[in-house]
């Protein structure tokens, strides 16, 4: 992901400064700013983290403390699509373990890894509030419920064919 | 919002139609409460009505809402910076009630926030929304934008002299942010560790300013209390508490889901009538009545009324009111291991007993479930349940919450623990399901 080593585009810097200006103290915009960077690049590189820290008047380590605290902020590159399979209690009861094993076999990766073709990253996630349709998962921004091995197979095929 | 509605919170929610816009919301009775409050009620009168309604916080702790507001310094919003924050960081495993309200009728939350903000005289509103609720985020932004355009948010609302606006903070996923002081720390752009109290948020909260943090479901009740009166609301409950409650059931029941019912509805009725009982081939063994951090109760307690006092007498907590069912074919130790993995992972790491104790508990459960557990492990688990479970041993309620299913599980499933250790394997095989 060489693009992430480039400096932040000017419009993004402007947007982050505007977020900071709305806060009583600029650091209040930390999470929102990091989310913007991730939305643009897929993850938060150290170079970008340093730039955001500068814009918010924080030290890079201070901001990294925030970035590494949250489950949805990625400090390592991810694939084009991220599958977050819920591993909390209702989904576990409803059979998320066999589904996870199926995904791992099919993708040839373990949870936390990305496929060699950089298409899919598989991550566990805590309860996503879809327990009445367990097992559930988030695929990028989309919620999926009542997941089965068949629906997973179909999904993977679709993801591999979408940019 | 018809006066006689028995399910005021969800009456306007129609998944086929999507969330109501301002005009539809108004036609169905919306904005009446805001008009009444800003037009002819004082903040003190609103606090009084909400106190008399017996509304208690729906996030899990069950603190009286009017009582909570009463601690806020009384200066007018124009004279002192204060915050009203909606806690929409719904991350308690097994809980999906606030998402229903956020996606189904976001304007109801907006109106509830206007009422709460007016009551405590806060000009600044924030919705602390969990990052995973992306559809709710879109709908909330749309609702707030429309409300602002129609003059329900912004400067001098309805010519009342009261100004209030709402900002949506999309969080990035961390269970402890639901704890109100950790939520404030998160909003200040720091690692979201809980804070020492006092000062309480009501006097020294976000950026040091008085702040009220209320759960989404709590806030959504307010328009109905103001329009229909506190006595009507108190009368909706079947027991001591007022209003309705969103209850839910997940696990191997016939029809998992969530329903708005009178608070105090018996647990058996929720499971049998609304969730359709167990799926065929499965028996109910035990359950967590109100989310992952509530103690197990078994089938002898099924007739408990689901209100704060009754569930506590039955040895657990109402919590979020969203029950998680353990069936007879799922390993209870596997289930507890799953819960403790969650709590260990989501510990913020600030205080040692929680940061070190929870992973230890998880490892002990791993060993027992994987068949390498020893008799001494039971003593260690019991010791942790006692030491971490007592309030005041850790910085916040995270570890005591984590110990609730463990301590109760050690008693209820003692024979299962013994069988795992003696047989050196899990009698239910690899854990969950077919």
Partner-chain residue, chosen from B131, B172, B330, that has the shortest CB–CB distance to A93: B330
Nearest to A145 by CA among B138, B425, B326, B257: B257
CATH number, domain containing residue A53:
1.10.10
- Shared domain for B215 and B78, answered yes or no, is yes
Q: How far apart (Å, rounded) are the C-alpha atoms in residues B20 and B28?
A: 9
CATH number, domain containing residue B323:
3.10.20.600
CATH number, domain containing residue B64:
3.40.50.11540
Mutation target to probe the A interface, by most A beta carbons within 10 A, among B250, B321, B326 is B250
Nearest to B189 by CA among A28, A69, A58: A28
| Residue A130 belongs to some domain of the structure | yes
The answer to whether residues B72 and B81 touch, using CB atoms and an 8 Å cutoff, is: no
| Contact check, Cβ <8 Å, A127/B94 | yes
| Residue A75 belongs to some domain of the structure | no
> What does the pLDDT average to over A111-124?
97
Residues in A touching B188 (Cβ below 8 Å): 25, 27-28
| Residue A25 belongs to some domain of the structure | yes
Residues in B touching A71 (Cβ below 8 Å): 172-174
For tokens 């795992």, what's the residue? B420
- Shared domain for B383 and B343, answered yes or no, is yes
Regions of chain B short of the pLDDT cut 70:
1-4, 430-434
- At B434 the pLDDT is 36
Residue A54 is part of which domain span? 2-67
- Number of domains present in the structure of chain B: 3
- Shared domain for B232 and B254, answered yes or no, is no
**Of B327, B345, B377, at which residue does a domain stop?**
B327
- Shared domain for B307 and B163, answered yes or no, is no
| Residue B164 belongs to some domain of the structure | yes
Partner-chain residue, chosen from B96, B192, B330, that has the shortest CB–CB distance to A130: B96
- At A5 the pLDDT is 57
Residue B158 is part of which domain span? 22-236
Nearest to B194 by CA among B385, B398, B403, B387: B398
The answer to whether residues B295 and B315 touch, using CB atoms and an 8 Å cutoff, is: yes
- At B2 the pLDDT is 46
- At B3 the pLDDT is 44
Helix axes B398-412, B414-423, angle to 10 degrees: 80
- Shared domain for B183 and B81, answered yes or no, is yes
pLDDT tier at A163, thresholds 50, 70, 90 = confident
- Shared domain for A43 and A89, answered yes or no, is no
Partner-chain residue, chosen from B91, B250, B434, that has the shortest CB–CB distance to A126: B91
Is the predicted pLDDT of residue A97 greater than 60, yes or no?
yes
A131 labeled part of a ligand binding site: yes
Greater model confidence, A2 or B20: B20
Is the predicted pLDDT of residue A3 greater than 60, yes or no?
no
A86 labeled part of a ligand binding site: yes
- Shared domain for A86 and A156, answered yes or no, is yes
Residues in B touching A135 (Cβ below 8 Å): none
Partner-chain residue, chosen from A23, A35, A131, that has the shortest CB–CB distance to B96: A131
| Residue A73 belongs to some domain of the structure | no
Percent of chain A with pLDDT over 70: 97
Q: How far apart (Å, rounded) are the C-alpha atoms in residues B293 and B398?
A: 8
| Residue B2 belongs to some domain of the structure | no
A91 labeled part of a ligand binding site: yes
| Contact check, Cβ <8 Å, B94/A35 | no
Residue of A nearest to B191 (CA): A66
| Residue B165 belongs to some domain of the structure | yes
Tell me the shortest Cα–Cα distance from A10 to chain B, in angstroms: 23
A18 interfaces chain B, CB cutoff of 8 Å: no
- Shared domain for A47 and A87, answered yes or no, is no
What ipTM was estimated for this complex? 0.95
| CB < 8 Å from B in window 77-116 of A | 84, 87-90, 92-98
pTM of the model: 0.96
| Contact check, Cβ <8 Å, B432/A127 | no
- Shared domain for B59 and B198, answered yes or no, is yes
**Of A10, A43, A67, at which residue does a domain stop?**
A67
Residues in B touching A128 (Cβ below 8 Å): 132
**Of B262, B294, B327, at which residue does a domain stop?**
B327
- Number of domains present in the structure of chain A: 2
CA dihedral B15, B13, A92, B420 (to 10 degrees): -140
- Shared domain for B43 and B170, answered yes or no, is yes
A100 labeled part of a ligand binding site: no
- Shared domain for B357 and B218, answered yes or no, is no
C-alpha count within 13 angstroms, C-beta hemisphere, residue B336:
32
**Of B327, B358, B376, at which residue does a domain stop?**
B327
């Amino acid at each position: 992901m060489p693009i992430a080593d480039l400096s932040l585009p000017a419009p993004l810097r402007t947007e982050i400064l505007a977020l900071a200006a709305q806060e009583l103290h600029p650091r209040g915009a930390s999470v929102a700013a990091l989310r913007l960077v991730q939305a643009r690049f897929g993850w938060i590189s150290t170079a970008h983290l340093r730039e955001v820290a500068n814009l918010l008047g924080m030290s890079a380590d201070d901001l990294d403390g925030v970035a590494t605290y949250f489950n949805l902020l990625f400090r390592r590159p991810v694939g084009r699509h991220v599958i977050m399979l819920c591993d909390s209690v209702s989904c576990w009861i409803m059979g998320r373990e066999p589904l996870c094993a199926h995904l791992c076999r099919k993708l040839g990766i373990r949870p936390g890894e990305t496929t060699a073709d950089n298409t899919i990253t598989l991550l566990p996630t805590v309860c996503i509030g879809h327990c009445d349709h367990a097992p559930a998962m988030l695929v990028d921004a989309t919620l999926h419920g009542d997941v089965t091995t068949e629906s997973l197979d179909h999904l993977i095929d679709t993801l591999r064919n979408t940019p | 919002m018809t006066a006689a509605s028995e399910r005021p919170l969800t009456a306007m929610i129609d998944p086929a139609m999507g969330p109501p816009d301002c005009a539809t919301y108004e036609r169905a009775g919306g904005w009446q409460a805001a008009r009444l409050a800003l037009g002819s009620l004082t903040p003190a009168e609103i606090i009084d009505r909400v106190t008399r309604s017996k509304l208690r916080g729906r996030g899990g702790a069950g603190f009286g809402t009017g009582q909570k507001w009463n601690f806020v310094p009384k200066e007018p919003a124009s004279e002192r910076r204060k915050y009203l924050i909606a806690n929409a960081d719904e991350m308690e495993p097994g809980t999906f009630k606030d998402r229903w309200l956020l996606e189904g009728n976001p304007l109801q939350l907006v109106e509830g926030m206007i009422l709460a903000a007016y009551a405590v005289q806060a000009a600044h509103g924030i919705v602390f929304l969990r990052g995973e609720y992306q559809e709710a985020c879109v709908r909330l932004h749309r609702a707030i934008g429309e409300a602002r355009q129609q003059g329900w948010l912004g400067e001098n609302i309805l010519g009342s002299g009261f100004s209030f606006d709402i900002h949506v903070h999309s969080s990035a996923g961390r269970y402890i942010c639901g704890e109100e002081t950790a939520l404030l720390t998160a909003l200040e752009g720091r690692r979201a560790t809980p804070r020492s109290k006092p000062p309480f948020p009501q006097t020294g909260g976000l950026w040091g300013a008085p702040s009220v943090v209320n759960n989404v479901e709590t806030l959504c009740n307010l328009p109905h209390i103001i329009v229909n009166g506190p006595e009507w609301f108190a009368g909706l409950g079947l027991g001591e508490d007022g209003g309705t409650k969103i209850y839910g059931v997940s696990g191997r029941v016939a029809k998992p889901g969530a329903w708005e019912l009178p608070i105090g509805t018996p647990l058996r009725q929720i499971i049998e009538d609304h969730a359709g009982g167990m799926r065929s081939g499965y028996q109910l063994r035990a359950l967590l009545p109100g989310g992952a951090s509530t103690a197990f109760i078994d089938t002898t307690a099924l007739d408990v009324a689901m209100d704060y006092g009754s569930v506590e007498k039955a040895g657990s907590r109402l919590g979020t009111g969203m029950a998680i069912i353990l069936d007879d074919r799922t390993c209870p130790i596997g289930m507890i291991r799953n819960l403790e993995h969650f709590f260990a992972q989501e510990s913020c790491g600030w205080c040692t007993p929680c940061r070190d104790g929870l992973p230890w508990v998880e490892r002990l459960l791993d060993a027992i479930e994987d068949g390498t557990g020893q008799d001494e492990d039971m003593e260690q688990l019991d010791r942790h349940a006692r030491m971490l479970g007592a309030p005041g041993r850790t910085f916040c309620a995270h570890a005591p919450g984590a110990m609730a299913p463990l301590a109760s599980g050690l008693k209820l499933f003692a024979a299962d623990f013994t069988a795992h250790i003696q047989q050196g394997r899990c009698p239910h095989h690899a854990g969950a399901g077919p």
